[in-house]
Amino acid sequence: MSLLEVEGLAREFGGVNAISDLYFSVPAGTVFSIIGPNGAGKTTLLNLLSGVYAPSAGQIVFDGRPLSGRAPHEHAAAGIARTFQNLQVFFNMSALENVLVGRTLHDPCGLLAAMVRPPRLTRDERKAREEAATLMRFVGLTDWIDADADAMPYGALKRLEIARALAAQPRLLLLDEPAAGLNPVETQGIDTLISRLAKSGITVVLVEHNMRLVMGISDHILVLDYGKCLAEGTVEQVRNDPRVIEAYLGAAASA
Amino acid sequence: MSGTNVASRMRGLAVLAGVAALLPLVLVNNYYYEVAILVGLNAIVCVGLNLLIGYAGQISLGHAGFFGLGAYGSAVLTARYGWPPLAAMAAATFAVAALAFVIGRPILRLRGHYLAMATLGLGIIISIVVATEDRITGGPDGMAVPPLSAFGLTLAGERSWYWVIAAVLVLSVWLALNLIESPRGRALRALHGSEIAAEVAGIDSAREKLRVFVVSAIYAAIAGSLMAHYAGFITPAKVTFFHSIELVTMVVFGGMASTFGAVVGAAVLTTLPQALTVLKEYEMAVFGAVMMLTMVFMPRGLVPTLSSALNGRRR
């Protein structure tokens, strides 16, 4: 059963079609990768899927419910979480608090209760902190649990964004170039992390330039070029598709 | 900074309560009490304003308007309509909250300079209305306000007022500290840090901004209402744009995103002009120089700079 259905999705910016007439579906529990040259519309697509942009046309159906045109926080409430290619960390907060913000949806707390702080809230907060710390250990941030976000190195911040997204307990996780800017050892670590996520049953949509990472962990690949679907299929199908080789992989292979 | 946050903030609250309790030892006459009460009233407004500016990252240049409406609401309802002061205070505060809710909805969509302009406009409109509706407000001449009384008791004298204001201030700080350390407060800080990341984490940023705007307006309205009853007389001076700027300056000077910074900022910038009166005509020049030097050498504000310097030494 597919968790996400994209039907005729399009987005234009001042007459330029960043995404046009896109159809695909993401089966639950799989890793679905989106690749393509720079400017192909990969990040635009993630922005559409997370509600940051509203589509110009088409539908995004998540778990049978149409989401198009809804606000980002409504996408989040439906069960979609994401990370950002250019980090969007809350640098005015501690690492742990960044992860806690990710759980906001699961920490219902009225304004009045927040201000008078009944004992129940103190208990809930303690539990939330413990769970957030557990999540930080899971993504490999054991050493940074007590750190301020602005004191952390780039590689750790990439993981922090993943921990924050996971804190929302999403059913669909959108990862926008989680390995960008990382060295090979760090990339290997992210690779392992994504595999573990996939095994835990969470559905992952991955945008990534690192072909070894993509080919290694994807169940399905969508190749974008100029905002259109160039090819779609399993790793084998995409790897052997002559159009893909010409537009993208070939250029990399011959370089 | 994390984990121990709650404990360290509650220690701060204990220190504040201690200072408030011991301060009367050095308040040798009524004039000193008067200044201390003024500090307390400004601090209450600043603690609320800091939630909006320092934590949520939304500017308001119109909070003197909310302060003034709280003051005039209480004044008009008690003096002209004979309402009991506490009922008048509650009604005025509720009306200000409702106004902030209605106005906040459209203007909090604006960002940065545009939000500054919109709140500035709101403040100016309120101040013009207060100054021109002289049949209700007394216009530029101001109006007398009955003293605060309830259950047959009347609050009179600087000393009694001091304890009431101190208690309200400690309560205001406690509520603000709790808010900041809650999921709601983290949502506010998050949308300050990255609004887009906050949104995709499921935070309805428009709703959170509106809520904190209303809360900060309530803080201002309550302080305004108390001020009116304490002073027994109000003029439009406290409703002006200049007073809005003073309040924002106190928040920035003390240190944004620091509740104790807001209190210290209010204390320093309220008492400094009083202390500088000995300099006569140079008063404002020295006052300005102190502010400029502080912001040049402590751009994060007084309390955050000093506290991180202290922490650094401890490590």
* Interface predicted TM-score (ipTM): 0.91
Binary contact (A111, B211; C-beta < 8 A) = yes
Q: DSSP letter for A117, please.
A: -
Query: Pick from A76, A88, A145: which is nearest to B194 by CB?
Result: A88
Query: Pick from A95, A104, A117: which is nearest to B178 by CB?
Result: A117
Residue length of chain A? 255
SS3 B107: helix
A49 pLDDT more than 90: yes
Tokens 């602005």 belong to residue: A150
The whole-number pLDDT of residue A254 equals 44
Binary contact (A81, B200; C-beta < 8 A) = yes
The whole-number pLDDT of residue A178 equals 92
Q: How far is it, in rounded angstroms, from Cα B113 to Cα B119?
A: 10
The whole-number pLDDT of residue B279 equals 83
In angstroms, the separation between the Cα of residue A241 and the nearest Cα of chain B is 35
The whole-number pLDDT of residue B39 equals 97
* Per-residue pLDDT reduced to its tens digit, A213-246: 898 889 999 999 888 998 899 999 988 888 888 7
Binary contact (B186, A71; C-beta < 8 A) = no
In angstroms, the separation between the Cα of residue A250 and the nearest Cα of chain B is 36
Q: How far is it, in rounded angstroms, from Cα B169 to Cα B298?
A: 26
In angstroms, the separation between the Cα of residue B9 and the nearest Cα of chain A is 14
Alpha helix locations (H) across B51-155?
Answer: 63-79, 85-107, 112-132, 134-137
Q: With a cut of 50, which residues of chain B have pLDDT below it?
A: 1-3, 315
Mean predicted confidence (pLDDT) in A85-111 = 94
Binary contact (A90, B215; C-beta < 8 A) = no
Is A71's Cβ below 8 Å from some Cβ in B? yes
Share of chain A above pLDDT 70, in %: 96
Q: How far is it, in rounded angstroms, from Cα B30 to Cα B26?
A: 11
Q: DSSP letter for A103, please.
A: T
Q: Mutate which of B4, B6, B13, B182 to disrupt the A interface (most A C-beta within 10 Å)? A: B182
Mean predicted confidence (pLDDT) in A25-52 = 92
Is A132's Cβ below 8 Å from some Cβ in B? no
A43 pLDDT more than 60: yes
Confidence of residue A251 (pLDDT cuts 50, 70, 90): low
The whole-number pLDDT of residue B177 equals 95
In angstroms, the separation between the Cα of residue A162 and the nearest Cα of chain B is 12
Q: Residue A221's CB: how many other CB atoms inside 10 A?
A: 24
The whole-number pLDDT of residue B1 equals 40
Residue of chain A minimizing CA distance to B185: A114
* DSSP string covering B142-192: -EE-PPPEETTEE--SHHHHHHHHHHHHHHHHHHHHHHHTSHHHHHHHHHH
The whole-number pLDDT of residue B76 equals 96
Provide the pairing of β-strand A31-35 with A220-225: parallel
Q: How far is it, in rounded angstroms, from Cα B150 to Cα B154?
A: 7
User: Considering Cα of A64, then A70, then A75, then A77, what sign does the dihedral take?
Assistant: negative
Query: Pick from B176, B184, B196: which is nearest to A88 by CB?
Result: B196
The whole-number pLDDT of residue B2 equals 40
Of B266, B273, B271, B248, the C-alpha closest to B42 is: B266
Confidence of residue A38 (pLDDT cuts 50, 70, 90): confident
Give A-chain residues touching B176 at CB under 8 angstroms.
Answer: 115
Share of chain A above pLDDT 90, in %: 71
Query: Pick from A77, A90, A110: which is nearest to B202 by CB?
Result: A77
Tokens representing A32 are 């679905």
User: Considering Cα of B72, then B78, then B82, then B83, what sign does the dihedral take?
Assistant: positive
Q: What number of C-beta contacts closer than 8 Å exist between A and B?
A: 120
CA dihedral of B79, B83, B84, B89, whole degrees rounded to 10:
-80
Q: Residue B38's CB: how many other CB atoms inside 10 A?
A: 19
The whole-number pLDDT of residue B275 equals 85
Query: Pick from A52, A96, A102: which is nearest to B2 by CB?
Result: A96
Name the burial class of residue B141, with classes exposed (0-12), middle (13-18) and buried (19+) by CB atoms within 10 angstroms of its CB.
Answer: exposed
Tokens 């307006």 belong to residue: B217
Q: What predicted TM-score, i.e. pTM, was given to this entire model?
A: 0.92
In angstroms, the separation between the Cα of residue B79 and the nearest Cα of chain A is 32
Is A107's Cβ below 8 Å from some Cβ in B? yes
Q: How far is it, in rounded angstroms, from Cα B121 to Cα B209?
A: 19
Q: How far is it, in rounded angstroms, from Cα A247 to Cα A243?
A: 6
Integer-rounded Cα radius of gyration of chain A? 19
Provide the pairing of β-strand A31-35 with A2-13: unpaired
Give B-chain residues touching A101 at CB under 8 angstroms.
Answer: 186-187, 190, 198, 201, 203
In angstroms, the separation between the Cα of residue A249 and the nearest Cα of chain B is 32
